[in-house]
Amino acid sequence: MSTLASVSAVVERLWPLSGAESWDSPGLAVGDPERPVTHIHLAVDAVLDTVDEALGLDADLLLVHHPLLFRGARTVSEDTTKGAVIARLVRGGCALVAAHTNADVVETGTSRVLAHQLGLLDQRPITAGSTPTTGLGIVGRLAEPVPLVALATMLRDVLPPTASGIRVAGSAERLVETVALCAGAGDSLLDDPAVRSADVFITSDLRHHPASDARELMLLGRGPALIDVSHWAAEWLWLDTAAAQLREALGDVEVTLSDLRTDPWDFTVVQ
């Protein structure tokens, strides 16, 4: 029978902690390594709804993309969000493991999954990892140039719906072929040469000033159009790939995945 320790070893093999960014905190957050694991539930976020979902399915482990204890917590008091989540997990006998930037950089990582959904050819990482095929983000090309609005529509059809929808900077009829993308928050890559030379950059959580500067560069002919999508939606696509890998590696463990929307926004009023 698999234990939390043996499952953690599989997680380390699939998404090595050595690939995580220095500021990240993936890995085991809650649970006894000696406890048996018969059911893993996958989600993007460790929030009360996904914890309740995991407990309702009698899962022994909630495996998430985003670490719960991301920036140091000084308390796990139950009147805090982190404390409430941890207490509920402990009382329910459910462990918590995160695979974050270590799951972004592998060949089957979050950006790679999104790139495959868009049918990108000649894929390569934006920033190199430990091997030529690993690293952060993806650059590739569409089979043929399409208008920017057509690519945004493709994303609409690929991603699960969210209140924030898909935001675009650039002319709707602008032809795009070379696509750079980073599932999750990718504004740190806006100045990367591979992004600057692409026709369009797809990512999430673009803030006003970096997006404004990037748009001005686009208007000067020195940078890509921008497409901003939901952080949760872009990374939710990875869960299916992660589940398949876990099922193959752990034949005695049931693996389910959450389709709960943990994007934080409930509705949008369009002006």
Instruction: Convert the pLDDT of each residue in 94-133 to its tens digit.
Output: 999 999 999 999 999 999 999 999 999 999 999 988 888 9
Helix (H) or strand (E) holding 149: helix 148-158
Amino acid, single-letter form, for residue 17: L
pLDDT over threshold 80, residue 73: no
Q: What pLDDT score was predicted for residue 83? A: 94
Q: How many helices (H) and strands (E) does the chain have?
A: 10, 13
**Strand intervals (E) in the chain:** 27-30, 39-43, 61-64, 95-98, 121-124, 127-128, 135-136, 138-147, 167-169, 175-185, 200-204, 225-228, 254-257
Distances (CA, A) of 84 to 28, 261, 264: 18, 19, 18
Instruction: Convert the pLDDT of each residue in 206-226 to its tens digit.
Output: 999 999 999 999 999 999 999
Q: Residue 224 gets which letter from DSSP?
A: -
For the chain, domain boundaries: 4-102, 105-234
Question: In CATH terms, is domain 105-234 a member of 3.40.1390.30?
Answer: yes
Question: In CATH terms, is domain 4-102 a member of 3.40.1390.30?
Answer: yes
pLDDT over threshold 90, residue 74: no
* Angstrom distance (rounded) from CA 7 to CA 123: 30
Instruction: Note the pTM of the prediction, 2 decimals.
Output: 0.95
Burial class (CB in 10 A: 0-12, 13-18, 19+), 97: buried
Instruction: Convert the pLDDT of each residue in 80-94 to its tens digit.
Output: 999 999 999 999 999
Task: Note whether 4-102 and 105-234 share their fold.
Answer: yes
CA-wise closest residue to 139 among 175, 176, 171: 176
